[in-house]
Amino acid sequence: MKNLKSLFAFDRKQQRGIFVLMLLLIVVLAGFFYVKKMPKEALILKDTAAYQSKVDALVAAQQRKKDTIYPFNPNYITDYRGYQLGLNVEEIDRLHRFRESGTFINSKKEFQQVTQVSDQWLDSIAPYFKFPDWVTNPKRSYANENTTAKDRKVVAKDINVASQEELQKVYGIGPALSSRILQERERLKGFIDLSQVRGVYGLTDSTMMQLKKYFHVTPRSGFLKIALNTATEEELLSIPYFDDYVVEKLVEQRTLRDGFKSWDKVMLTSRFPKEKLALIQLYLTLD
């Protein structure tokens, strides 16, 4: 009992401190309840007509911008554009598969046959289809343009001598993409196969199909594949897809295996760029 009483024994200084603390606590609680009980003044909105008209105008402008559809060629509908237009995944895939065959859609009816869109969708979106002039005006005379059917025929050119302006004539290739193609050509010291162009960043399958209509690759004079099992390190380093480390490991593995017998064994080499095997085989042979 004596020990319990000692817990409540305070000197005068401590008692004053406890008193001040309790007083502050009472003041804070009283203030809290006072503020809580105070009547809240209702928010009175005066004339909001001017503000509401501005808001309505902004909403209407945004809606018009969202709903505006500009004329477009349906042959080049991308996945994102198709989603915006209300096409489902299957309809977009049917369109892309048809275009990958190298053929074009030339009418609204043909678009529906290919994609199997509903009549309702076709009636709402087809008015915005814009086909090339030679499709919409097949009887138009081009004599005044000083061109003939033969002149308009695409004549393929060696891509290794093509200029940036000539590359940009291909639909889907702009200034940036054509510049990257030229940079890759310089890095490789000339393409030896058109498949090397496909690795350029930003080049899609559909654009690659168009590019093949305009360009080809003429094999370099005197170009011969390098025999991997007898090649020197310098010869292997001339292959643009190899670095010092890969060449060192290739030579090491070649020695341990007494020559490579298959490409499967080659790809076991440390850090060998397996994803570029088809391109590497343009330069290398096991024989």
Query: What pLDDT score was predicted for residue 102?
Result: 67
Query: What pLDDT score was predicted for residue 140?
Result: 57
Give the residues of the chain that fall short of pLDDT 50.
142-152
Residues 86-144 have pLDDT tens digits of 889 888 888 888 877 667 888 888 889 889 989 888 888 888 888 776 666 665 554 44
Single-letter residue type at 143: A
Query: What pLDDT score was predicted for residue 152?
Result: 46
* pTM, 2 dp: 0.47
Query: What pLDDT score was predicted for residue 63?
Result: 61
Query: What pLDDT score was predicted for residue 135?
Result: 62
- The terminus-to-terminus CA distance of the chain in angstroms comes to 104
Query: What pLDDT score was predicted for residue 148?
Result: 46
Query: What pLDDT score was predicted for residue 128?
Result: 87
**DSSP 8-state symbol, 72:** B
Between vectors from CA 267 to CA 261 and to CA 273, what angle results, nearest 5°? 140
Secondary element (H or E) of residue 267: none
Question: Any idea where the domains of the chain sit in the sequence?
Answer: 74-136, 151-216, 226-285
Closest to 126 in 3D by CA, of 113, 108, 110, 114: 108
Name the CATH architecture for the domain at 151-216. Orthogonal Bundle (1.10)
- Is there a common fold for 151-216 and 226-285? yes
The hierarchical CATH code for the domain 226-285 is 1.10.150
